[in-house]
């Protein structure tokens, strides 16, 4: 399992709530969201492109930071 | 000046808490095929969408909003 760090342009609890619902729906095993820092950590074996596309469904800007 | 192939649907949306949520939906949904416009209201918890009924359906719009991570409900029709 790899731990990936993404920067997602979230500004409120609605935004982070939307992101976590998307990840839940995907069946992503483990994730953590830091709203003030606009960071999302995902532990998954799925590839980065798949995860990026999924996060982009929220309509927010998504940037892959790297493995953390 | 509405064209004959344009319908309007109001969809109830839960889970939006700020203007950024509103802008995300207003930015994403009109990218869908058949959607002409989206006007989302944070205070009313709803969005008004103009769409071409030949290209998309209210149910598809509802699903697109759900895919973005919000709860979306179509109006109950009194028939």
- Give tens-digit pLDDT for B32-71: 999 999 999 999 999 999 999 999 999 999 999 999 999 9
Give dist(CA B25, CA B70) in Å, integer.
10
> Using the beta-carbon criterion (under 8 Å), do B69 and A21 form an inter-chain contact?
yes
Question: Is B68 close to A58, i.e. CB distance below 8 A?
Answer: yes
Contacts of B18 in chain A (CB under 8 A): 11-12, 14-15
CATH for A8? 3.30.70.100
How many domains, in total, are found in chain A? 1
Q: Is pLDDT of B3 > 60?
A: no
Contacts of B68 in chain A (CB under 8 A): 18, 22, 57-59
State the pTM of this model. 0.87
Burial grade of B69 (CB within 10 A; 0-12, 13-18, 19 or more):
buried
Interface test with A, best of B14, B16, B19, B21 (most A CBs within 10 A): B21
Of A6, A10, A11, A3, the C-alpha closest to A54 is: A6
Six-digit token string for B31: 């990218």
Q: Which residues of chain A fall below pLDDT 70?
A: none
Q: What is the pLDDT of residue A29?
A: 75
Query: Which pLDDT value is given to residue B79?
Result: 58
């Amino acid at each position: 399992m790899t731990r990936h760090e993404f920067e997602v342009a979230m500004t409120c609890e609605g935004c982070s709530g939307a992101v976590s619902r998307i990840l839940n729906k995907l069946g992503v095993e483990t994730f953590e969201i830091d709203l003030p820092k606009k960071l999302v950590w995902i532990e998954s074996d799925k590839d980065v492109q798949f995860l990026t596309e999924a996060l982009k469904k929220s309509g927010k800007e998504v940037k892959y930071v790297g493995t953390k | 000046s509405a064209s004959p192939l344009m319908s309007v649907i109001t969809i109830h949306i839960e889970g939006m808490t700020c203007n950024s949520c509103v802008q995300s939906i207003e930015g994403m949904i009109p990218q869908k095929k058949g959607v002409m416009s989206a006007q989302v209201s944070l205070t009313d918890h709803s969005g008004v969408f103009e769409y071409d009924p030949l290209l998309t359906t209210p149910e598809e719009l509802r699903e697109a909003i759900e895919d973005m991570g919000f709860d979306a409900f179509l109006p109950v029709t009194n028939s």
